[in-house]
Amino acid sequence: MAARSIASLTVSFGLVSIPVRLFSATESTRAISFNFLHKACGSRLRQQYFCIKEEVPVAREDMVKGYEFAKDQYVLFTPEELKSFEEAGTHMAEITEFVPIDKVDPVYYDKAYYLAPDKGGAKPYALLAKAMQQSGRCALGRWAARGKQYIVMIRPVEEGLVMQQLLYAGEVRSIKEVEIPETEVKDAELKLARQLIDAQSSDTFDPSQYTDQVSARIQAAIDKKVAGQEISMTEEPEVGAQVIDLMEALRASLGKKPAAPAKGKAAAPAPAEARKPPKRAAAEPAPTPKKVKAK
């Protein structure tokens, strides 16, 4: 099924304007979700808001928004006031600078969109994509939509352009906030680790080699329940002992041949019954030895 455009906008750099169509690059609708039901009758539940002071349900028309500036103290805002703060949508992504693509830390990456040229935009679209590919740079700019203003990065891919919504600096925590102790790494350990990395390295990333096995198991269980079948519960795998000798672990990893990724279509996950580890038989008590009387 062909992708459906979700919006139209114009990408501009300098005096060049490129009309493009926007396509969502991800599909959240494929995620399996569950509904809350009444255990007694199986009916859907409706969410209600309760006043914690009067302990009564509050209808949506009786709700207002407020900001807590101190413990249990709020300043209130009307819908009109909140609306006035919103950014007016301009349907324009204005490029402000070009930077080396490897200088944008992926930790800032948020939602991604595909860009396709709209009517009359094929030539400038191809020009921008090819120029960025040759320069090794991506474009940074701003985009306003849904009342908000976003930082966006437009980067070239082999097939065209991707617009990556970025997080603001205040939305990303610094790794310096994480306590990481200084640890000495021996040359021999580093050499083995490098060998292990080289042995398991690939030149490209093929996302089709990675499948969501949890979703597959849930979907299989849903299909069984819809068909009126019972599902069996799997036992939790035993946790292995903690590895103490780092050198031995590295040597063992190098000696172990990594499993080759499946080619083409990923194999279907094994049914729950096949994955269930065999239960250990209870050990029978040893027979009591008979006493032999000496003649």
Please name the residues in contact with 127: beta carbons below 8 A apart, sequence gap of 6 or more: 16
**Per residue in 236-266, pLDDT tens?**
666 655 656 777 887 888 877 665 554 444 4
pTM over 0.75: no
For the chain, give me the number of helices (H) and strands (E)?
Answer: 6, 11
Total domains in the fold of the chain: 1
Structural tokens at position 9: 């906008």
Q: Look up the domain containing 167 and give its range.
A: 7-26+87-171
Q: Establish if 114 belongs to a structural domain.
A: yes
Q: Establish if 102 belongs to a structural domain.
A: yes
Q: Establish if 155 belongs to a structural domain.
A: yes
Contact 143, 20 (CB under 8 A): no
Q: Establish if 118 belongs to a structural domain.
A: yes
Q: Establish if 164 belongs to a structural domain.
A: yes
Please name the residues in contact with 166: beta carbons below 8 A apart, sequence gap of 6 or more: 104, 108, 109, 110, 140, 150, 151, 152, 153
Tell me how far CA of residue 213 lies from CA of 35, 231, 261, 265, 272, in angstroms: 21, 17, 15, 14, 12
Q: Establish if 227 belongs to a structural domain.
A: no
Q: 98: domain CATH number?
A: 2.40.290.10
pLDDT tens per residue, the chain (295 residues)? Answer: 677 888 888 998 888 899 999 898 887 656 788 899 999 999 999 888 999 889 899 998 899 999 999 998 999 998 888 888 877 767 888 899 999 999 999 999 999 999 999 999 999 999 999 999 999 999 999 988 877 889 999 999 988 999 999 999 999 999 999 999 999 988 998 998 898 888 888 888 888 888 888 888 888 888 888 888 887 777 666 665 565 677 788 788 887 766 555 444 444 444 444 444 444 444 444 444 444 444 3
Separation between Cα atoms, residue 36 and residue 45, nearest integer Å: 6
Q: Establish if 278 belongs to a structural domain.
A: no
**Per residue in 133-174, pLDDT tens?**
999 999 999 988 877 889 999 999 988 999 999 999 999 999
Q: Is the dihedral of CA 263, 252, 255, 203 positive or negative?
A: positive
